[in-house]
Structure 1
Amino acid sequence: MGYYVQVEQGVKLFVEDIGAGRPILFVHGWPVNHNMFEYQTTHLPKYGFRCILIDLRGYGKSDKPWTGYSYDRLADDIRVVIDTLGLDNVRLVGFSVGGAIVVRYMGRHRGHKIAQLLLLAAAAPSLTQRPGYPIGQPRANIDKIIAGTYADRPGVLAQFGEDCFASPVSTPFRQWFQSLGLEAANHATVAVMESLRDEFVGQDFPFIRVPTSIFHGVLDKVCLYPLALAQHAGIQGSVLHRFEKSGHGIFYDELELFNQRFFKALNDGH
């Protein structure tokens, strides 16, 4: 079932709501949309989970306003969805920039209604290197992506697809994955990449006081593996699941192993 939730005047987010039972809220990454999780949500309702997937503003079927792409605003959008749907004891899942946004949610909203946090190849504490933080991407790499998005967005998305997966994927799969990014607005694609470049969520780590599972591929070329180590060190009591053969596409590269560990973490609450 799909419907819209108004998160502020004139802005509605598309929500896909599948199954019944314990709620899981999924937050996708750049530059795709909620459909990226279909290889998990096809199965989870069989085990008593209600899968709630949002398209961030500017992406997928959601409204595409000109403004509102800071981590604060995107985290506030999640709060509105949770409160509008009356959710409680939520398992909150964030992939890539979605991981950074859910970390900001935990800090900004003090973990409101969240029972468990699951970070998938998360862009946290920051995607980008900065003084005192040498483990991310060089800023010039991000600026190149932004410039390319203005000039040839399909080309940038195609290259991102190449960089995303460490395991071979079929040509139709690659085309499908790229098509998810093409549904976004160009201005939103740029704006969220600017947030990825400029924002830092390490200060939000101390406010994460729920069981937290970190899933990260050693071969990740986008959110480099040292980010996972920083998350594990900064989030008290967190559990790190290391995937030796996975890249950024942690949700698909080692699909069977990932789903096994991911589903177990959801069931165990850690």
Structure 2
Amino acid sequence: MFFETADGTRLAYEDYGRGPAIVFVPSWALNSDMWEYQIPYFTDRGHRCVTLDRRGHGRSERPSTGYDLDTSADDLAALLDHLDLREVTLVGHSIGGAEVARYLSRHGEERIARVAFVSAVLPFLKLTEDNPEGVPEAVLQDTLDDFRTDRPQWFTRQAQAWYATHLKNRVSEALVDWTLRQCMSASPWATAQLLASSFHTDHRDGLRRISVPALVVHGGADFGAPPAVTGRRTAELIPGADYREYPTAGHGLFVTHRDQLNADLLEFVKS
């Protein structure tokens, strides 16, 4: 299914089941297919599950503009308006979590019942004087240079760390290949622009203003978004947030720790 955003971009979304709505926001470079192990679980338990392919990803159109978190947040708002969803649980993974945070800052909580940040790249990635836990700008530039040199090789190098296979998380080569094919299907322009926008966006003030229940889930072995820089700091900023850290999980815990994540999300949604 498709709808049009304010600038005329046609975006793809999927809508399954009936009941209280959960909107799953995919990770950077991935699309709706990443939630393969969550959507059936929640529809079987009486929930409506909606997920969006952001612009430049999956089956959505690839315009030349709009690859910043403000536009991503506005696109998410347009989807909720299009379906007139209310009392929504938002679940965002990685940069999808940053998009959820930006949505709350720009559009408020009127339609939102609760939010879950899974492996989210929050609260602020860039190293600055008032953010000494951040990452130097040179790291971002090196990554962008790698994209321009050999993007497939960059994603291939990340695959094992993504799933923390060194900690004996069972992930088949076929599943790794499935993940890589999703990443490579995304627009190169979109992935580079969105990564830069995420790196430079400061969410700290917005997180402090969240008043709906919030769950923060992070992998203790997340190499790409270390919990000391992201997950733990995010939970400290959100009033009353429930923080859960999986010691053996990497960034791709929606696959490797699907049973634990699904159970924790279900408990949160019912609470």
Compute the displacement of 1:45 (Å): 0.3
Q: Tell me the alpha carbon deviations over residues 220-268 of structure 1, each in whole angstroms, 9 at most, x when there is no partner.
A: 1111102111111110011001111111112122222222212211222
**Residue 238 (str. 1) matches residue 244 (str. 2):** no
Give the stretch that moved more between structures: 197-206 or 232-241.
Answer: 197-206
Q: State the alpha-carbon separation in 2 of the partners of residues 120 and 165 from structure 1.
A: 14
Identify unmatched segments of 5+ residues in structure 2: none
8 Å contact 1:136–1:223 — kept in the other structure? no
Segments of 5+ residues of structure 1 without an aligned counterpart are: none
Scaled by the length of structure 1, what TM-score is found? Answer: 0.94
Name the residue aligned to 1:16. Answer: 14
Match of 1:146 in 2: 144
**How far is the alpha carbon of 1:112 from its aligned partner?**
3.1
Match 1:94 to one of 83, 92, 95: 92
Aligned residue identity for 2:206? D
* Aligned-residue offset at 1:35: 0.9
Root mean square deviation of aligned Cα: 1.3
Q: Confirm or deny that 1:264 pairs with 2:245.
A: no
1:68 to 46, 66, 69: 66
Tell me the equivalent position of 2:185. Answer: 183
The one-letter code sitting in structure 2 at the alignment partner of 1:174 is V
C-alpha contact 1:128 1:196 (8 A) present in aligned 2: no
Using the TM superposition, give the Cα deviation of residue 186 of structure 1 relative to its aligned residue in structure 2, in angstroms: 0.8
Residue number in structure 2 paired with 1:203: 205
- Matched with 2:214 is 212
Hey, what does 1:252 align to over in structure 2? 255
Instruction: Give the length in aligned residue pairs.
Output: 266
Q: Per the alignment, do residues 7 and 112 of structure 1 end up closer, same or farther by CA in structure 2, a change over 3 Å counting?
A: farther
Matched residue of 2:56: which SS?
coil
Fraction of identical pairs, as percent: 30
Runs of 4+ aligned structure 1 residues displaced above 6 Å come to: none
Q: Is the 8 A contact 2:38 2:258 kept in 1?
A: no
- Give the Cα separation in 2 of the matches to 1:163 and 1:237: 31
Alpha-carbon distance in structure 1 between the residues aligned to 2:135 and 2:7:
36
Shift of 1:95: 0.5
